[in-house]
Copies of this chain bind each other. A is one copy, B any other.
Amino acid sequence: MTALSIMLVDDHPIVREGYRRLIERQPGHRVVAEAETAAEAYRLFKSATPDLTVMDLSLPGAGGLEAIRHIRQWDRTARILVFTMHQSAPFALKAFEAGASGYVTKTSPPEELIRAIDTVARGGRALSADIAADLAAERLTRRGGPLDELAPREAEILRMFASGQAAEEIAEALCLSLKTIQNYHSQIKAKLGARTDAHLVWLAIAEGLVLDRREP
């Protein structure tokens, strides 16, 4: 096999520069494309067809998760390695759900990124040690997020509420009674121990139910 072709997706040119130098220091690794936005990533992927894509989640416009879904929809065999600053297990889970094969945080030592690239290129899965530890702790303690307490419907309504939708809008969107939404709202606050709507928003953010900046 010849060189491994790689596409970089990150909205910070200087940061891309750092990745590129680091990656191309490895023999047999070539960066063949660089994209700044989700749309550009999708477009470039189709023309460059890299063996592997290294993608940040925080992108202007549609977020990185959207980009991953689009690319995977176009090529189900695409290997995508998420490389992001978000040191959050919920983000990592979302990335894998969207179709990523790896998740490495930018706080990791450079060797970890290199190792993850090789692993993912070989068809494997890679996960940052810190995130892996988080997930393990979550599984062991059975309550990494208080969200486990919530029924699916409750979590869904919390997500909509925390993202700013009014109770009436949620009711309409879900074809439910306003009263039902209000009841859920009270129940969710009670279950999570939130005394305030604002507190509820922070909990939703902390659990990765809603994303603070644009999206991933």
Contacts and interface: CB of A to CB of B under 8 A. Distances in A.
Contacts of A12: 85, 106-107
Interface in A155-198: 161-166, 194-198
Contact of A11 (B107, B163, B194): B107
A100 interface: no
B14 A202 contact: no
Interface range, A side: 35 or more
A91 to B, nearest CB: 12
A5 B19 CA distance: 25
Contacts of A164: 194-196, 198-199, 202
Contacts of A199: 164
A201 B205 CA distance: 11
Nearest to A21: B21
A61 interface: no
Contacts of A198: 161-165, 197-198, 200-201
Interface in A66-125: 85, 106-110, 113
Contacts of A13: 107-110
Given A12-B85, A201-B198, A17 B110 contact: yes
The oligomer's copy count stands at 2
Contacts of A165: 196, 198
A106 B14 contact: yes
Contacts of A58: 85
A110 B14 contact: yes
A213 to B, nearest CB: 8
Most chain B C-beta atoms within 10 Å of own C-beta, residue among A12, A18, A205: A18
Contacts of A213: 212
Q: Which 8 A-B pairs have the closest CB atoms?
A: A18-B18, A164-B199, A197-B197, A12-B106, A201-B201, A212-B212, A164-B198, A198-B201
Interface of A: 11-15, 17-19, 21-22, 58, 85, 106-110, 113, 161-166, 194-202, 205, 212-213
